[in-house]
Structure 1
Amino acid sequence: MKTLVTLTVNGEERSLAVEGYRSLLDTLREEAGLTGTKKGCDVGDCGACTVIVDGEPVNACLMLAVEAAGRDVRTVEGMQAGPDALHPLQEAFMEHGASQCGFCTPGILLMAQSLLERNPDPSDEEIRFGLSGNICRCTGYTKIFDAIRTAARRMAAPPADASGLEAAE
């Protein structure tokens, strides 16, 4: 029997009919059509399915869709800095070649974003701890750490004015 679940996904209220046993991961991918969230291990070990629920990173494969009712869910599709702008983390990942196959990237991006929201200037050890639930089998993490440090610096910098110069304090 299906249940109507209403939740906010990337700022948009969505009502989805789901079976009570359906994971948030499967619901996002299949009912909501948001395929950026990846199904890796499906048991909470790899972090590929990381989404942000009410401001906290969650393995979407371990959460039932009905548990997300009334909650705010952010997926990698909702990560942009603006309608036509990538988030600084996305830009830095591209610049540093921080993704190889890209399968883990959505989960790592959201986990890194969550980390930088809590700690805008993390040490390498804090980055390592912050990403500890996300597995990448391709990059060796060096480029991922470089990208996160680059994004952190950019996010901390004062915004530039229309001329492209940094605003004076």
Structure 2
Amino acid sequence: MAELLYASGLRLIEALRLRVQDLDFDRHELTVRDGKGGKDRRTLLPNRLGDQLREHLEDVRQIHRADLAQGWGGGMLPYALARKYRNAERQWGWPWVFPQHKRWKDQPTGKEGRHHLDPRVIQKAVKQAVVRAGLAKPVGCPTFRHPFATHLRERGQDIRTIQE
């Protein structure tokens, strides 16, 4: 996930909220839904992460199938989509790209499923990597967005396009 943050310029919460259908390997892009300001946007899906992400998605697919076989639902659907498309959570496009390891149960409704990873899991992993690397400067998940924009600028992209 940290590589994806760096290579795509994503915010941590944007990466956590990615769903399988948001990844377009053919066009080498991903769609961020309901990002900052409540807007959707597209960004780069680097070629070098394609194989890793495909392998990861196979693991996610197995988790999704096992959950469904055991009578669990999929991930939580945004807004009113659960009412509009009653079986959408069971379809392959809706699971989180980075699902949590444990399933959840909503006590009032009895509904069961799997949510995305807790952001603290990634934040802790990044912090440990910084310590192991012996870096003196403070580094966190937001730090990965800056080199993404800088590298695009170095390749000749205009600043307005990068901002969009």
TM-score range, shorter chain: under 0.3
Would you tell me which structure has more strand in proportion to its own residues? Answer: 1
Would you tell me which structure has more helix in proportion to its own residues? Answer: 2
